[in-house]
Amino acid sequence: MQFERWLPVNELPAVAFMAPTDSLLAGAGPLDFILPPTCSISALRRGFQPIPFHSPIAGRVPPSSVEEALTGRPAKRARREEKEITIRMLKRADVDAVSDLQDSNLPLSYPWSFYATLLTSSSSLCLIAVPSSSTSSATPPPVLGCISARLSPASLDDLSTTPTIHILSLVIAPSARRTGLARSLFKEVVRTLGGGAAAGKSQKEVQVILHVLASNTGAQAFYKKEGLEEVRRVRGHYRRLRDGENGEAVEMRGLVKL
């Protein structure tokens, strides 16, 4: 299996795995000081409507790309609807496909608890991109891209009051890259989680934080385009790489407009 020797992901802190579903939003949870009492990320998650994604770069996505991603073989013929992609929330039935996508494009495996947290935690969100033609099908669709993120109080080290979104993972299937799909997923996750944190406030931006493998210059270029900058390097940040790399991470941060 070929995967890129990059690590763009942030390992989900153990506390996130252990947190009861809604505990972060209730009582004296750590999100209280950024979330107004009327705001619930759960409601935003429930109300998330699928969004059509149209590649802004006409002609750069081969019409056969979705079928190729699904079967691993060149498509016999192009179908018009294969160019259309829908961005929607992760469902339980998508977990195997998302896990396959992440495992084959990232140098570490995520445990089931990672996906369980994304499905249940009120402060986390996972959006996926699937062929629009598959949305009415009963079988789980091929997943062309996914992003996961967690909203948390402002970083403990800078004591800022700006809500902070941690990008946990972002992967686009090789056949769907450089079409703006990652940009769309990134903007949507920031808009949804950030919008929840900003509800009832005059908040116009959120802080976005992530770690990316130091050798993953492509992903760093992507995040720089989105307004993030390298703030420091963390040796040994990634400890469970399949190939034994030292796992040095670049920490990137930036303020992103809502």
Ligand X SMILES: CC(C)(COP(=O)(O)OP(=O)(O)OC[C@H]1O[C@@H](n2cnc3c(N)ncnc32)[C@H](O)[C@@H]1OP(=O)(O)O)[C@@H](O)C(=O)NCCC(=O)NCCS
- Kindly list the residues in this chain that would bind ligand X in the complex (CB under 6 A): 4, 6, 8-9, 105-106, 170-172, 177-183, 212, 216, 218-219, 221-222, 225
Identity of the residue, 31 or 237, whose beta carbon is nearer to ligand X in the bound complex: 237
Identity of the residue, 126 or 219, whose beta carbon is nearer to ligand X in the bound complex: 219
Identity of the residue, 35 or 61, whose beta carbon is nearer to ligand X in the bound complex: 61
Closest separation in Å from C-beta 201 to ligand X: 28
Closest separation in Å from C-beta 119 to ligand X: 20
Identity of the residue, 155 or 178, whose beta carbon is nearer to ligand X in the bound complex: 178
Identity of the residue, 24 or 182, whose beta carbon is nearer to ligand X in the bound complex: 182
**Residue keyed to tokens 């770690």:** 211
Closest separation in Å from C-beta 157 to ligand X: 21
**Residue keyed to tokens 């990672």:** 114
Q: Contact 96/102 with Cβ under 8 angstroms?
A: no
Name the phi and psi angles at 48, rounded to 5. Answer: -65, 120
Closest separation in Å from C-beta 165 to ligand X: 13
Joined together, the tokens standing for residue 137 give 């099908």
Q: Contact 170/105 with Cβ under 8 angstroms?
A: no
Joined together, the tokens standing for residue 87 give 């961005």
**Residue keyed to tokens 């989900």:** 12
Identity of the residue, 98 or 219, whose beta carbon is nearer to ligand X in the bound complex: 219
Edge to edge, the sheet with strand 249-257 lists: 51-53, 85-89, 124-131, 145-152, 164-172, 205-213, 249-257, 229-234
**Residue keyed to tokens 């996505």:** 61
Closest separation in Å from C-beta 28 to ligand X: 32
Name residues whose C-beta falls within 8 Å of residue 57's C-beta, 6 or more positions apart in sequence: 178, 179, 180
Closest separation in Å from C-beta 197 to ligand X: 21
